[in-house]
Amino acid sequence: MIDLDRVLTSLKHKRLVRVFFSTYDSGLAREALNILARFGRAELKQSQVVREFYYVEIVPEPKPANRRALEETVKRVEEELKKLKDLSDIKVYYVET
């Protein structure tokens, strides 16, 4: 028998990767977004107060099955961003909602 409550709870459950970084080069920020888009649907936002701060929220695709898979995605994102030399203050973490 199907546990309907469990199914509905899993449908509402979202797993996201959030990335913060800073750069004065908007072209480099777009390059970072292109890299991050490889991991899923990514949206870049620039701070309105401090223009060199950027925020990207990634909805990983395929959807990570569990927390361990999400942690692996975070590690891979960090590794890819570290290849871009002029990015600084890189912070990557995951969120489960």
For the stretch 3-17, pLDDT in tens is 555 554 555 678 899
Q: Spell out, as residue ranges, where the chain has pLDDT lower than 50.
A: 8
φ, ψ dihedrals at 3, nearest 5°: -85, 100
21 by Cβ neighbours in 10 Å (0-12 / 13-18 / 19+) ranks as buried
Tokens coding 31: 């390059």
Q: Which CATH number fits domain 12-96: 3.20.20.120, 1.20.200.10, 3.40.630.30, 3.30.70.100?
A: 3.30.70.100
What pLDDT is attached to residue 30?
95
Sequence-ordered list of residues with C-beta below 8 angstroms from that of 13, at least 6 positions apart, any chain: 96, 97
pLDDT for 39 equals 95
pLDDT at residue 66, as a whole number: 84
Closest by CA position to 40, among listed 68, 10, 74: 74
pLDDT at res. 14: 81
